[in-house]
Amino acid sequence: MSKEDKEAIEWCEGKYPEMTAEYKRISDQQYVTFCKKHRNYGCGNINVGTSLETAEDVKLALTGLWFRMNDKVQRLKQLVVMGEPDMVGEAIEDTYQDLSVYGIIAQLVQQKRFK
């Protein structure tokens, strides 16, 4: 971590202690969720049975992630923008969490590290 990174963190945590503490709590919970779901699904659901060794493998996995993320965005559109009621009993926070986790998984896929 660079000196500039540390200074930014110190500034933010000093100015916004409650918000940054909650951000860390949410991040930790997302990591736990990622680990639990990864234990249930393994790599195959994201890698689509590939080893992420070629550009085509990565594109396939990222395309699958795009579809999953689009599902979540469309759900948010219905709930937040359109004001439709939740009919499946899934908390909106779960949708936000799924999008965040998928974003990190996409970075791992892009780096060919989701295997």
Q: How confident is the model at residue 15 (pLDDT cuts 50, 70, 90)?
A: very high
Burial of 100 (0-12, 13-18, 19+ CB in 10 A): middle
Distance CA 87, CA 90 (A): 8
Distance CA 85, CA 78 (A): 8
Distance CA 114, CA 43 (A): 7
Determine the pLDDT at residue 39: 95
Distance CA 20, CA 48 (A): 36
Q: Please, what is the average pLDDT of the chain?
A: 95
Determine the pLDDT at residue 91: 85
pLDDT in tens, 41-85: 999 999 999 999 999 999 999 999 999 999 999 999 999 999 999
Instruction: Give the residue-averaged pLDDT of 3-30.
Output: 97
Distance CA 58, CA 91 (A): 31
